[in-house]
C-alpha cells in the first residue's frame, strides 16, 4: 500500500494508540537500562575491579537524563508532533550504540599512549572525562525523549505515573538482560542486540508519527516550572536515592556474594520498587506524601539494623540450585528495600500532582531529580564511602531523603520523628563486626581493622587461635597467617623464581598479605615490585601481617593500581611475573584470566621471562578451567603446568620453556642456605617433580574481555555441583604424563633420572591419595601417602598429610610399643613444621616438669606460627 493510501490517524480520537505508544516506551526503558549495564561493564574493563565503572555510568546517565529532560521541557512546547522527535532520538541512540565499540577502540588506543605518563589518579580522571563525554550524549537524548513522550499527554490519555512506571518496569528487564546476553552472546553482540531493538522501537514510533494527523499550530504555552526551592529539594532527594543505590550495591552485593549476577539482581529489585511505586501512586493519593519521608527513613534504618540477620541467613542457607539462590536472595533483598523504593517511585507523580499541569511539571521535577542523582553518585563514591563507610552512607542517604521530604511537607510535628531517627541511626555508623555478619564461619573472630573506599572493602580479622585473615568484601578470604597457608603463599613466588635461570626482577600481580612476596626473599639481588588495587590490603601487609611476611614490604616497590592498567602502561620489563590467587567468580575478576590480559603480561617479560598464573582447583569446574587453559596456551604456545598441593600453576615462557635446565642453573648459583630457603627446604627435585605436563591444545571458547565466560559460568557451576574437586583431580590425573614422557619433555639427564623419577612419582601418588580421600577411601589414601613419603620424604605436602594421619591415630601408639612422647617425636621427624605436634610436645614436657624441653618446643612453635595466641600468651606478647 502506498504512503498516500494510508489514512491519517487522529491522535486525539484514537483510544488504542496510547497503548502502543506506552508499550514502545516500555521497550525504550528496557533498552536504556540494558545500555547502562552493558556500558558499565565496558567501563569496568578500564577501571578494573572497583565500582568506579558503575559510579561513572550512573553519574553520566543521571546528568544526561536530567539535562536532557530540562532541555526537552522547553523544546517540547514548540513541537506539534513530539512522537517524531522521540522516534528520531531512539534511532540515533541505537546507531550511536552500534558505533560506540569502534569509537572506544580508537579512543582507547590514544588514551593508552598517554597513560604511560599518568599516575593512577590522573588515569582515572582522564578516563572519567572520556566516559562522561561518551555516555552523557545518549543519556541526554533519553532525557529529551521522556519530555517528548510526556508532551503526548496533551492529546492521548497517558499519565505521568503510568509513563514513568512502565518505562522503569521495562528497565527492570533491561537490567536483567545482560546477565543472559553477556554469557551467551558476549558484550559486543549483546550491545548490538539491544541496539537493534532500539532501532525497532524508533522505527515503529516513526511509522506511527507519520500516520498521525498533525493538529494546527497552537500558541506556545508558557513554561510551567515548579518553584526553585521545590526543585532543589527534589534534586536532593535524587542525590540521596542514588547514594542509597550505590551503598546497597556495595552492602548487599557483599553479603550475597559479589558476582555479575547479583549486581544485576540488585539493580533490578531497586528499579522494580520504583516502577511499582509510580504505578500505584494515583491510588495512594496526595495525602500519602506526608508519610513517604518517614517510610523511607524508617525503611533504610530497619534494613541496616537487620543487615547482620540477612548476612547470616545467606551464609547458613543451603540453596538447591542456582536459580533458587537468585530468587531467594532477590526476595530477601526486596523485603529490605521495597518499602523504600516504593516510596521513592511514588514521590514524582504525587509531587507533580500538586501543580496545575502535572505532566509538564513532572518533566522539570524528573530533570532536577536526575541531576541531583549525578551529584549523589559522585558524593557517595568520593566522599561518603571513604569517610563513613557503606553502612554510614546508606544511613546518611536515608536521613537526607527524610529531612528533604519533610521540608517539602508543611507539618512540623514530623521533625520530631527525624530527631528520633537520628538517635536510632547513630549506632549504625560503623560496619557490623564480622562475628555478627558471618556467625557460622567467624563466630569467635574479632575485627582488627577495616579499610573502605570506592574500590574495595578490606578487613583484617583475628580468629580465636590468634591467626589473622584478610577478607575482601567480607565473604572472600584472600589470605591467612596460618602456617600451612603461609607455605602455600610463599610457594607462588618460589616456583616462579626457580623456573628462571637467574632472575633479577619479579612483578607480583596482587599483593594480598605480602606473604607471597616473602617467598622471594632467599633469592639474592632481586628487585621486587607488586601491584595492588586495594589500599586496605597494602596497609594490612605493612602492619598486621608484617610478622609473617618478614617485613618484605620494606624491600619492594608497591604500586596501587589495577593489574590490567599497570601491565598495559608500564615501560618496565621483568624476568618473572606472578599472577596471585584470587576469586575468579567475583565481578570483574575474570578479566585477569582473559587472553587480553595474558597478552599484556607477555609483552612485559624479558627475553627469558616466565609468567606463572596460579589457580585454586577448588574454585573451578572442569569446563571453566579448560576455557582458561585454552586461552593461556593461545598466548603462550609452550605453556606448561605444575601442581603444588591443590593449586595449579600455569607457566608461560616468553619464548621457549627451559624449566629443568633453568631450575638447575638457578640453584647452582645459590649457596647452601639460599638453596634451602629458596626451595622451602624441599629441594630442587621436589619442585621439578611437581611438573604436570604441557597444556593440551583443544577447541572451544576462551576467556575474552569482550565475551566473558568465567564470571557467568562459575556461579552456576557452584550450585549445580560442577565445582567438584574429585572430578577435577580425576581429569588432571588422566592428563598427567608418564615419568618417561615427563623426563623427555624436561630433558632430564640420565644421571638425574632417578632423583627426578622419585619426586615425580611422589607427586602423582599424593594426588591419587587426595582423590581417594575425597571419595571416602581413607585406608587407600593412607597407603598411597605412605608410598609417596617413601618415594620423596622431602615433599612438604606428603609429609604434612602423613603427619596428620599419624596424629589422628596416636592413641594406638601403645599397641606398637611406643609411648606418646616417642610417637610425637616420630611424627616431628617426618614433618618438622607440624604445629599440632609441636604444641603437643610442648604441653607434654611442661606437664612432666621438663621446662627446658618445653621451652624448646614452645620456641619452635612460635618460630613457625608467630601469631599463635596460646604460644604468644606465654611470652606475654600480644599476637
pLDDT band for 502, please (50, 70, 90 cuts). Answer: very high
pLDDT for res 318: 85
Residue 46 above 70 pLDDT? no
pLDDT for res 457: 87
pLDDT for res 418: 81
Interatomic CA distance for residues 511 and 531, integer angstroms: 6
Residue 555 above 80 pLDDT? yes
pLDDT for res 1: 37
Q: pLDDT, tens digit, for every residue of 691-741? A: 999 999 899 999 988 788 888 888 888 888 888 899 999 999 999 999 999
List the chain domain ranges.
10-215, 223-432, 434-476, 483-736, 770-875
Residue 45 above 80 pLDDT? no
Q: pLDDT, tens digit, for every residue of 566-577? A: 898 888 999 999
Cα Rg of the chain (Å, integer): 31
Where would I find the H helices in 409-514? Answer: 414-425, 434-437, 483-498
C-beta neighbour count of 8 within 10 angstroms: 10
pLDDT band for 109, please (50, 70, 90 cuts). Answer: low
Q: Give percent of the chain with pLDDT exceeding 70.
A: 89
Mean pLDDT computed over 399-426:
83
Mean pLDDT computed over 495-499:
97
Q: How far is CA 128 from the centre of its chain?
A: 20
Which of 343, 73, 120, 346 lies closest to 226 in space, CA to CA?
Answer: 73
pLDDT for res 154: 61
SS3 295: helix
| HSE value, Cβ hemisphere, 13 Å, CA-based, for 560 | 14
Residue 3 above 50 pLDDT? no
Mean pLDDT computed over 381-396:
92
Cβ contacts of 771 within 8 Å, gap of 6 or more: 726, 729, 730, 733
pLDDT for res 736: 96
Interatomic CA distance for residues 557 and 529, integer angstroms: 5
Interatomic CA distance for residues 267 and 390, integer angstroms: 17
Q: Return the H-helix or E-strand segment holding 642.
A: strand 640-644
Q: pLDDT, tens digit, for every residue of 432-483? A: 999 999 898 888 899 999 999 877 889 999 999 999 999 887 766 678 999 9
Where would I find the H helices in 409-471? Answer: 414-425, 434-437
Cβ atoms of 292 and 267 within 8 Å: the answer is no
Which of 133, 35, 144 lies closest to 87 in space, CA to CA?
Answer: 144
Mean pLDDT computed over 814-837:
90
State the pTM of this model.
0.88
Interatomic CA distance for residues 564 and 847, integer angstroms: 56
DSSP 578-630: EE----TTSTTGGGGGSHHHHHHHHHTEEEEEEEEEEEEGGG--HHHHHHHHH
pLDDT band for 129, please (50, 70, 90 cuts). Answer: confident
What is the grid cell recorded at 267?
539493580
Burial 660-680 (b: 16+ CB within 10 A, else e): bebbbebbeebeeeebebbbb
Q: Which residue has the higher pLDDT, 135 or 516?
A: 516
DSSP assigned state of 851: H
pLDDT band for 223, please (50, 70, 90 cuts). Answer: low
Q: How far is CA 109 from the centre of its chain?
A: 26
Burial 786-814 (b: 16+ CB within 10 A, else e): bbbbebbbbbbbbbbbbbebbbeebeebe
Cβ contacts of 413 within 8 Å, gap of 6 or more: none
pLDDT for res 416: 81
Q: What are phi and psi of 456, to 5 degrees?
A: -160, 170
Residue 415 above 90 pLDDT? no
Residue 660 above 80 pLDDT? yes
Interatomic CA distance for residues 580 and 614, integer angstroms: 6
Cβ atoms of 781 and 773 within 8 Å: the answer is yes
Residue with cell 541511626: 425
pLDDT band for 12, please (50, 70, 90 cuts). Answer: very low
pLDDT for res 873: 83
Interatomic CA distance for residues 589 and 574, integer angstroms: 23
Q: What are phi and psi of 679, to 5 degrees?
A: -100, 10
Residue 357 above 80 pLDDT? no
User: For the structural domain made of 770-875, what CATH number should be given?
Assistant: 1.25.40
Mean pLDDT computed over 47-59:
67
Interatomic CA distance for residues 289 and 302, integer angstroms: 20
SS3 readout for 319-361: CCCHHHHHHHHHHHHHHHHHHHHHHHHHHHHHHHCCCCCHHHH
DSSP assigned state of 288: G
Whether the domain at 223-432 and the domain at 483-736 fall into the same CATH topology: no
DSSP 66-91: HHHHHHHHHHGGG-S-HHHHHHHHHH
Interatomic CA distance for residues 472 and 540, integer angstroms: 12
Q: Which residue has the higher pLDDT, 736 or 220?
A: 736
pLDDT for res 7: 45
Mean pLDDT computed over 331-343:
90
Q: How far is CA 613 from the centre of its chain?
A: 19
Interatomic CA distance for residues 496 and 479, integer angstroms: 19
Mean pLDDT of the chain: 87
Residue 47 above 70 pLDDT? no
Q: Which residues pair with 480 in a beta bridge?
A: 469
pLDDT for res 255: 85
pLDDT for res 532: 92
pLDDT band for 848, please (50, 70, 90 cuts). Answer: very high
DSSP assigned state of 697: P
DSSP assigned state of 700: S
Interatomic CA distance for residues 407 and 227, integer angstroms: 14
What is the grid cell recorded at 340?
523504600
Q: How far is CA 305 from CA 3, 143, 335, 427, 436, in A?
A: 63, 37, 13, 9, 11
pLDDT for res 548: 95
User: For the structural domain made of 483-736, what CATH number should be given?
Assistant: 3.40.50.150
Residue 121 above 80 pLDDT? no
Q: Report the CATH fold assignment for 223-432.
A: Growth Hormone; Chain: A; (1.20.1250)
Q: pLDDT, tens digit, for every residue of 276-291? A: 988 887 776 656 677 8
C-beta neighbour count of 314 within 10 angstroms: 20
Where would I find the H helices in 353-441? Answer: 358-379, 385-408, 414-425, 434-437
Residue 533 above 70 pLDDT? yes
Residue 259 above 70 pLDDT? no
Q: pLDDT, tens digit, for every residue of 150-204? A: 887 666 666 778 888 889 999 999 988 988 887 778 778 889 999 999 999 999 9
Q: How far is CA 406 from CA 234, 343, 399, 417, 804, in A?
A: 11, 13, 10, 10, 65
User: For the structural domain made of 10-215, what CATH number should be given?
Assistant: 1.20.1250
Amino acid at each position: 500500500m502506498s504512503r498516500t493510501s494510508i489514512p491519517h490517524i487522529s491522535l486525539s480520537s484514537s483510544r488504542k494508540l496510547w497503548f502502543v505508544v506506552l508499550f514502545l516506551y516500555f521497550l525504550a526503558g528496557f533498552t536504556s537500562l540494558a545500555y547502562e549495564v552493558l556500558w558499565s561493564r565496558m567501563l569496568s574493563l578500564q577501571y578494573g575491579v572497583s565500582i568506579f565503572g558503575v559510579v561513572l555510568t550512573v553519574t553520566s546517565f543521571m546528568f544526561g537524563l536530567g539535562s536532557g529532560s530540562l532541555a526537552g521541557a522547553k523544546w517540547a512546547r514548540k513541537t506539534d508532533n513530539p512522537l517524531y522527535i522521540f522516534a528520531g532520538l531512539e534511532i540515533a541512540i541505537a546507531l550511536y550504540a552500534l558505533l560506540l565499540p569502534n569509537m572506544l577502540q580508537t579512543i582507547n588506543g590514544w588514551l593508552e599512549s598517554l597513560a604511560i605518563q599518568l599516575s593512577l589518579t590522573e588515569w582515572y580522571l582522564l578516563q572519567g572525562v572520556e566516559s562522561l563525554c561518551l555516555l552523557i550524549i545518549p543519556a541526554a537524548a533519553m532525557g529529551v525523549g521522556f519530555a517528548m513522550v510526556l508532551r503526548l499527554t496533551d492529546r492521548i490519555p497517558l499519565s505521568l505515573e503510568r509513563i514513568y512506571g512502565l518505562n522503569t518496569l521495562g528497565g527492570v528487564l533491561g537490567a536483567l538482560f545482560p546477565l543472559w546476553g553477556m554469557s551467551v552472546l558476549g558484550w559486543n553482540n549483546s550491545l548490538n542486540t539491544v541496539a537493534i531493538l532500539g532501532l525497532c522501537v524508533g522505527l515503529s514510533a516513526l511509522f506511527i508519527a507519520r500516520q498521525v494527523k498533525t493538529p494546527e499550530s497552537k500558541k506556545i504555552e508558557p513554561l510551567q516550572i515548579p518553584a526553585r526551592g521545590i526543585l532543589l529539594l527534589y534534586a536532593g532527594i535524587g542525590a540521596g536515592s542514588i547514594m542509597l543505590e550505590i551503598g546497597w550495591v556495595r552492602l548487599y552485593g557483599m553479603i550475597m556474594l559479589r558476582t555479575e549476577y547479583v549486581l544485576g539482581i540488585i539493580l533490578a529489585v531497586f528499579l522494580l520498587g520504583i516502577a511499582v511505586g509510580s504505578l500505584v501512586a494515583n491510588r495512594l493519593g496526595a495525602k500519602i506524601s506526608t508519610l513517604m519521608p518517614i517510610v523511607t527513613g524508617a525503611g533504610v534504618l530497619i534494613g541496616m539494623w537487620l543487615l547482620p540477620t540477612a548476612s547470616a541467613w545467606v551464609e547458613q542457607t543451603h540453596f538447591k540450585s542456582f536459580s533458587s539462590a537468585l530468587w531467594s536472595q532477590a526476595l530477601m533483598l526486596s523485603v529490605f528495600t521495597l518499602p523504600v523504593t516504593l516510596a521513592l517511585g511514588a514521590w514524582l507523580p504525587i509531587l507533580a500532582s500538586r501543580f496545575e499541569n502535572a505532566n509538564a511539571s513532572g518533566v522539570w521535577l524528573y530533570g532536577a531529580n536526575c541531576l541531583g542523582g549525578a551529584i549523589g553518585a559522585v558524593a557517595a563514591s568520593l566522599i561518603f564511602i571513604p569517610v563513613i563507610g557503606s553502612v554510614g552512607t546508606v544511613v546518611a542517604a536515608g536521613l537526607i531523603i527524610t529531612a528533604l521530604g519533610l521540608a517539602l511537607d508543611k507539618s512540623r510535628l514530623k521533625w520530631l520523628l527525624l530527631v528520633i531517627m537520628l538517635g536510632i541511626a547513630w549506632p549504625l555508623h560503623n560496619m557490623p563486626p564480622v562475628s555478627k555478619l558471618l556467625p557460622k564461619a567467624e563466630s569467635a573472630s574479632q575485627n582488627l581493622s577495616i579499610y573502605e573506599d570506592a574500590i574495595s572493602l578490606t578487613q583484617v580479622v583475628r580468629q580465636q587461635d590468634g591467626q589473622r585473615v584478610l577478607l575482601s568484601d567480607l565473604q572472600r578470604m584472600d589470605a591467612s597467617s596460618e602456617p600451612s597457608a603461609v607455605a602455600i603463599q610463599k610457594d607462588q613466588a618460589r616456583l616462579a623464581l626457580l623456573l628462571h635461570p637467574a632472575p633479577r626482577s619479579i612483578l607480583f600481580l596482587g599483593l594480598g598479605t605480602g606473604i607471597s612476596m616473602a617467598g622471594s626473599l632467599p633469592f639474592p639481588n632481586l628487585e621486587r615490585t607488586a601491584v595492588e588495587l586495594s589500599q586496605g590490603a597494602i596497609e594490612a601487609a605493612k602492619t598486621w601481617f608484617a610478622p609473617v611476611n618478614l617485613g618484605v614490604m620494606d624491600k619492594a616497590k608497591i604500586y596501587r593500581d589495577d593489574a590490567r592498567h599497570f601491565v598495559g602502561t608500564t615501560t618496565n620489563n621483568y624476568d618473572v611475573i606472578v599472577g596471585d590467587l584470587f576469586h575468579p567468580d567475583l565481578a570483574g575478576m575474570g578479566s585477569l584470566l582473559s587472553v587480553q590480559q595474558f597478552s599484556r603480561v607477555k609483552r612485559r617479560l624479558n627475553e627469558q621471562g616466565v609468567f606463572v598464573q596460579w589457580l585454586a582447583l577448588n574454585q573451578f569446574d572442569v569446563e571453566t578451567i579448560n576455557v582458561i587453559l585454552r586461552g593461556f596456551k593461545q598466548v603462550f604456545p609452550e605453556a606448561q603446568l605444575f601442581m603444588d598441593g591443590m593449586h595449579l600453576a600455569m607457566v608461560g615462557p616468553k619464548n621457549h620453556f627451559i624449566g629443568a635446565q633453568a631450575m638447575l642453573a638457578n640453584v647452582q648459583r645459590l649457596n647452601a642456605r639460599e638453596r634451602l630457603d629458596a626451595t622451602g627446604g624441599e629441594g630442587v627435585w621436589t619442585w621439578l617433580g611437581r611438573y604436570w605436563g604441557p597444556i593440551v591444545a583443544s577447541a572451544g571458547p576462551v576467556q575474552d574481555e569482550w565475551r566473558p565466560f568465567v564470571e557467568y559460568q562459575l556461579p552456576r557451576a557452584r550450585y549445580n555441583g560442577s565445582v567438584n574437586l574429585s572430578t577435577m583431580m580425576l581429569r588432571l590425573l588422566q592428563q598427567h604424563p608418564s615419568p618417561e614422557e615427563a623426563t623427555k619433555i624436561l630433558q632430564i639427564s640420565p644421571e638425574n633420572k632417578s632423583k627426578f623419577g622419585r619426586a615425580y612419582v611422589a607427586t602423582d601418588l599424593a594426588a591419587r591419595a587426595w582423590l581417594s580421600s575425597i571419595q571416602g577411601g581413607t585406608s587407600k589414601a593412607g597407603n598411597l601417602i605412605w608410598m609417596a613419603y617413601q618415594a620423596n620424604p622431602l615433599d612438604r605436602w606428603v609429609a604434612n598429610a602423613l603427619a596428620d594421619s599419624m596424629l589422628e591415630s596416636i592413641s594406638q601408639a601403645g599397641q606398637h610399643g611406643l609411648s606418646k612422647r616417642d610417637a610425637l617425636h616420630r611424627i616431628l621427624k617426618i614433618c618438622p613444621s607440624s604445629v599440632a605436634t609441636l604444641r603437643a610436645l610442648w604441653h607434654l614436657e611442661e606437664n612432666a616438669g621438663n621446662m627446658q624441653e618445653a621451652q624448646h618446643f614452645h620456641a619452635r612453635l612460635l618460630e613457625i606460627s608467630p601469631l599463635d595466641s596460646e604460644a604468644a600468651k606465654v611470652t606475654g606478647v600480644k599476637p
